[in-house]
Amino acid sequence: MSILVDKNTRLIVQGITGHQGSFHARRMRQDGTNIVAGVVPGKGGQDFEGIEIFGTVLEAKLAKEANASIMFVPPKFASAGILEAIDAGIEVIVCITDGIPVHEMMEIKERLREEKSWLIGPNNPGMITPEEAKLGIMAIHAFKRGHVGIATRSGSLTYEIGYELTRAGLGQSTVVGLGGDYVKGTDFIDIVPLFENDPDTHLVVMVGEIGGTDEERTAEYIRAKCSKPYVAYLAGSSAPPDQQMGHAGAIVSQGKGTFQSKIKAFEEAGIPVAKYPREVKDIALELLK
């Protein structure tokens, strides 16, 4: 088992003929993902290296019984692409695109409240259920099949921490890059119940970031509702307050979302917090003993 994606995932690639889209479609296919169709407006009927291209997500879904989509679409068109996938009833939508306007993401968030689709991202490395399906841009050699669920707000740390776990013999059930934007399709608080209910996940790693209130709310949720072991890591102990460090999501504002408040929340929920990325695997090994 795993969450959201597995060997039954039938993937559409939106923007398959673009620079990033074509590169990563090839990689995902090499990595064993079942890509059933590409979608490029105006290019319906064409073909990308044996993958049939459709003009709309709906056509692709109907023709190929697709249930997931990944998007390599420029920021100006990304929210329209997401809405198109939601409209078509795609169950899992991954949006890699960095740079979607936050007001557009607020609109998508409103729409998602009324729909069953999962949106992972935007501005993320995607997600992977190792050895079954990769909907993303990550290098698979960092991951292998196992029982650790990973959810992260940082793309770069996903590799770092996943690789350390893999080398320590701790493979992953599913690795989810939530993305670095302020308004995301999916937060820790949304994904944790899935891991909690997945029999194949024995331990969950959360890689947080400063800014927002997701870690605080999730810690409280875990304290109240969850029974599996959780491990957290949080970058940003050395960040000066009120300074934007790359991600819009890392703005520290209104006294919420600081490094300290998140660490405190995890500790109060009894969730161990690693000091360095490497410590995640040490704690995980200890907890899984």
Partner 1 sequence: MKLYEYQAKKIFKDNSISVPNGTVCSTEKETGDAFASVGKGQEVILKSQVLVGGRGKSGGIRSAQTVAEAVDIFKELMDTHIKGFPVAKVLIEEKAEIRNEYYVGITIDPTFYRPILLISSRGGMEVETIARESPSALGQYILNPRYGIPSHEILRLIGELGISKGLSMPLTDVVKKLYKIFCNYDATLIEINPLVESSDGRLIALDARLNIDNNALFKHPELEELKKDFVDNKETYLKEKGVDFVYVGGNVGLICAGAGMTMATMDLVNAMGGKPACFCDVSAGINPQSMELALRTVSSLDGIQSILLNMFGGLTRMDEVATSFIAAWQNMGGISLPAVIRLEGTNVEEGRRIMKENGFEMFTNLYDAVQKAVDLVR
Binding mask 198-237 for partner 1 (x = CB under 8 A): ---------x-xxxxxx--x-----------------xxx
- Which residue among the candidates 19, 147, 202, 247 is catalytic per the annotation? 247
Sites for partner 1 among residues 257-276 (CB under 8 A): 257, 275-276
Minimum Å gap between C-beta 139 and partner 1 is 4
Sites for partner 1 among residues 90-109 (CB under 8 A): 98-107, 109
Minimum Å gap between C-beta 99 and partner 1 is 5
Q: Does 87 bind partner 1 (CB under 8 A)?
A: yes
Among 250, 271, 283, 284, binds partner 1 (CB under 8 A): 250
Among 1, 7, 49, 62, binds partner 1 (CB under 8 A): 62
Minimum Å gap between C-beta 110 and partner 1 is 6
CA angle, 194 then 198 then 199, to 5°: 165
Query: What angle, 0 to 180 degrees and rounded to 10, lies between the N-to-C axes of helices 277-287 and 155-167?
Result: 50
Query: Looking at beta carbons only, is 34 or 67 nearer to partner 1?
Result: 67
Q: 247 an active-site residue?
A: yes
Listed ranges 36-44, 168-176, 245-253, 260-268: which one lies at the site for partner 1 (CB under 8 A): 245-253
Query: Looking at beta carbons only, is 202 or 262 nearer to partner 1?
Result: 262
Minimum Å gap between C-beta 183 and partner 1 is 5
Collect all residues with Cβ–Cβ distance below 8 Å to 140 and sequence separation of at least 6: 31, 128, 130, 134
CA angle, 62 then 66 then 125, to 5°: 140
Among 1, 8, 76, 225, binds partner 1 (CB under 8 A): 76
Listed ranges 30-38, 41-49, 55-63, 222-230: which one lies at the site for partner 1 (CB under 8 A): 55-63
d(C-alpha 175, C-alpha 97), whole Å: 18
Query: Looking at beta carbons only, is 144 or 228 nearer to partner 1?
Result: 144
d(C-alpha 182, C-alpha 168), whole Å: 33
Written as one string, the DSSP assignment of 21-41 is: HHHHHHHHHHTT--EEEEE-T
Q: Does 193 bind partner 1 (CB under 8 A)?
A: no
- What's the gap between Cα 50 and its chain centre? 28
Sites for partner 1 among residues 123-182 (CB under 8 A): 125, 136-139, 141-142, 152-160, 163, 180, 182
Q: Does 10 bind partner 1 (CB under 8 A)?
A: no
Determine the size of the site formed for partner 1 (CB under 8 A).
76
Report the catalytic residues: 247
